[in-house]
Structure 1
Amino acid sequence: MAATSTGVDVARPDAPRPLRKSREGVSRAQQASLLTRSAIATALAVLAVAWLAPLFWALVTSLKYEADTTTVPLELVPEAGFTLDAYRSVLSNDNLITWFVNSTVVTLVVTALTLALSTTAAYGFSRTSFRGRGLLFGLVVAGIMVPPQILLVPLYQQVLAMGLADTYAGIILPQLVVPAMVFILKKFFDGIPRELEEAARVDGAGTFRIFWQVVMPLSRSIVAAVGIFVFIGAWNNFLWPFIIISDPDLMTLPVGLVQVQSSFGVRYAQVMASALLAGLPLIVIFMLFQRQIVRGVATTGLGGT
Structure 2
Amino acid sequence: MNGKHKLINRLFAAFTIVVGAIWTFPLYWAFVTSIRTEQRVIEGAGIIPDEFNLGSYAHAIFNTNLLRWYVNSIGTAICITAIVLLFGMMCAYALSQIRFPGRKLLFGIILMSYMVPAQALVVSQFILSNDLGIVNSWAGIILPQLIVPVVIVVYKQFFDAVPKEMREAAVLDGGGEFTLLFKVFLPLNWGITTALAIVTFIMAWNSFLWPFLVITSEEQMTITVGITQVNDAFGVTYARLMAVALLGAAPVAIGYLIFQRKVTEAIMISSGVKG
| Distance (Å, rounded) in 2 between the aligned partners of 1:215 and 1:61 | 50
Please report how far the alpha carbon of residue 94 of structure 1 lies from its aligned counterpart in structure 2 after TM superposition.
Answer: 4.5
Cα displacement string for residues 157-185 of structure 1 (whole angstroms, at most 9, x for unaligned residues)? 10111111111111111111111222222
| Distance (Å, rounded) in 2 between the aligned partners of 1:251 and 1:283 | 20
**Alignment-derived partner of residue 19 in structure 2:** 47
| Distance (Å, rounded) in 1 between the aligned partners of 2:12 and 2:159 | 34
**Alignment-derived partner of residue 13 in structure 1:** none
Q: Contact 2:150–2:270 (CA<8 Å) still a contact in 1? A: no
Q: 2:81 aligns with which of 108, 111, 130?
A: 111
SS at 2:259 equivalent? helix
2:131 pairs with 1:161: yes
**Alignment-derived partner of residue 82 in structure 1:** 52
Please report how far the alpha carbon of residue 46 of structure 1 lies from its aligned counterpart in structure 2 after TM superposition.
Answer: 2.6
Q: Contact 1:68–1:78 (CA<8 Å) still a contact in 2? A: no
| Distance (Å, rounded) in 2 between the aligned partners of 1:38 and 1:298 | 27
| Distance (Å, rounded) in 1 between the aligned partners of 2:60 and 2:184 | 48
TM-score between the two structures when normalised by the length of structure 2: 0.92
Using the TM superposition, name which of 52-61 and 129-138 deviates more: 129-138
Using the TM superposition, name which of 170-179 and 180-189 deviates more: 180-189
| Distance (Å, rounded) in 1 between the aligned partners of 2:77 and 2:58 | 26
Please report how far the alpha carbon of residue 38 of structure 1 lies from its aligned counterpart in structure 2 after TM superposition.
Answer: 3.4
| Distance (Å, rounded) in 1 between the aligned partners of 2:14 and 2:222 | 39
Change (3 A) 1:161 1:224: same
**Alignment-derived partner of residue 96 in structure 1:** 66
| Distance (Å, rounded) in 2 between the aligned partners of 1:198 and 1:296 | 29
Q: 2:193 aligns with which of 223, 248, 255?
A: 223
Q: Contact 2:167–2:180 (CA<8 Å) still a contact in 1? A: yes
Please report how far the alpha carbon of residue 41 of structure 1 lies from its aligned counterpart in structure 2 after TM superposition.
Answer: 2.9
2:64 pairs with 1:69: no
What are the equivalent positions in structure 2 for 1:88-237 lying under 5 Å apart? Answer: 88-237=58-207
Change (3 A) 1:301 1:236: closer
Using the TM superposition, name which of 57-66 and 289-298 deviates more: 289-298
SS at 1:246 equivalent? coil
Which consecutive residues of structure 1, in runs of 5 or more, have no partner in the other structure? 1-27
| Distance (Å, rounded) in 2 between the aligned partners of 1:32 and 1:190 | 45
Using the TM superposition, name which of 141-150 and 155-164 deviates more: 141-150
| Distance (Å, rounded) in 1 between the aligned partners of 2:208 and 2:43 | 29
Matched AA of 2:149: P
Please report how far the alpha carbon of residue 291 of structure 1 lies from its aligned counterpart in structure 2 after TM superposition.
Answer: 2.8
Please report how far the alpha carbon of residue 234 of structure 1 lies from its aligned counterpart in structure 2 after TM superposition.
Answer: 0.8
Matched AA of 1:154: S
Please report how far the alpha carbon of residue 192 of structure 1 lies from its aligned counterpart in structure 2 after TM superposition.
Answer: 2.2
| Distance (Å, rounded) in 2 between the aligned partners of 1:165 and 1:203 | 48
Please report how far the alpha carbon of residue 48 of structure 1 lies from its aligned counterpart in structure 2 after TM superposition.
Answer: 1.8
| Distance (Å, rounded) in 2 between the aligned partners of 1:85 and 1:155 | 40
| Distance (Å, rounded) in 1 between the aligned partners of 2:96 and 2:3 | 47
Q: Contact 1:221–1:296 (CA<8 Å) still a contact in 2? A: no
Q: 1:243 aligns with which of 213, 221, 229?
A: 213
Change (3 A) 1:192 1:276: same
Q: 1:282 aligns with which of 252, 258, 268?
A: 252
Change (3 A) 1:207 1:303: closer
Matched AA of 1:38: R
Which consecutive residues of structure 2, in runs of 5 or more, have no partner in the other structure? none
Matched AA of 2:168: E
Q: Could you say which structure has the larger radius of gyration?
A: 1
